[in-house]
Structure 1
């Protein structure tokens, strides 16, 4: 399931652009990246994301946070569907949050669970 929101007409500190879960992820090619920050996490199956000619496997409970406009592509691997959760967000507060996390172009989290 995917839910997309309208971009706010005012400048605000933080807003959600889209959110999804239990999403059967198809291949994506973004030569100019995405315009917002993007969290992508594997629920089941597996996938590979390629950034700057580096391939990163995303297995269950692994995720990646991407800065806006970072060129990337990703696709499922293996024979089963790649089910993901994702969140895209932006706002004036995001640069400070990214600096706090020491976020370069991306940050891989090897195990992320919500209990």
Structure 2
């Protein structure tokens, strides 16, 4: 059935990183024309049929299983070309809405091809049910639902998802090697040799996959291992932990730890109830 629900947000809700402003479902999506755009972000997920989306003179065909993103105040219109054009949609905003979009892979307005739309549609249906029932703490619950949908989209977006998976598989021997050798010095050439590529090409692979250079990744893994030893190390001294994760100089370990974590190793232990 056709259904549309707009949420009444509290002052506290507006302080959330992201919040739902509306949600709905159309058995057949009627034509929409918005010369001034819409005040919030909108995600629409198509269940069946086909439609045409027009964003500032550019036309897109929206097929069954596709979704489309519309940022605030962007001139757009859309209408069915193959009926019934069934769709779920929700609108949202918040101080971190744009950052969460980027995290989900929604980097531009327009059409996105979804590998499997069923998990996303299920979460959107749950969101609609939640808003319909007007449960206590609706704003917080709606924010949680948006996180779930956006993370679900990140997993299901066809664009780049297969390439990312293949990249992770290719780098797997290197990642396992790093994990097994954190206790000793590791060089860029030896990592590159594992894949029979140049150090420059390995840097490119890491940049595409992790947005980090290989040795930045190594240092992050050393620090993460150091955090584990600080908590579970059974009273190990700082210099012992530093050596265990590949730092001969405990002062450098201390400096790098603070740069990555935001506190010293000693402060980190205190935060977790250890002296």
Q: TM-score range by the shorter chain?
A: 0.7 to 0.9
Misfit runs of 4+, over 4 Å: none
Q: How does 1:19-98 map to 2 (within 5 A)?
A: 19-78=23-82, 80-98=83-101
Answer 1 or 2: which has greater helix percent.
2
Determine which structure has the larger strand proportion and give its number.
1
In structure 2, C-alpha distance between the alignment counterparts of 1:14 and 1:109, rounded to whole Å: 21
Larger radius of gyration: 2
Shift of 1:113: 1.2
Measure the CA separation in 2 of the matches of 1:35 and 1:15.
13
- Structure 1 distance, partners of 2:18, 2:38, is 17
Name structure 1 gaps, 5 residues minimum: none
Inter-CA distance 61–14: structure 2 relative to 1 (3 Å threshold): same
SS across alignment from 2:22: strand
* Separation of aligned partners in 1, 2:74 and 2:43: 13
> What is the alpha-carbon root mean square deviation over aligned residues?
1.8
Distance 2:59 2:32 in 1: 14
Aligned length: 113
Comparing 14-23 with 46-55, which one deviates more in the overlay? 14-23
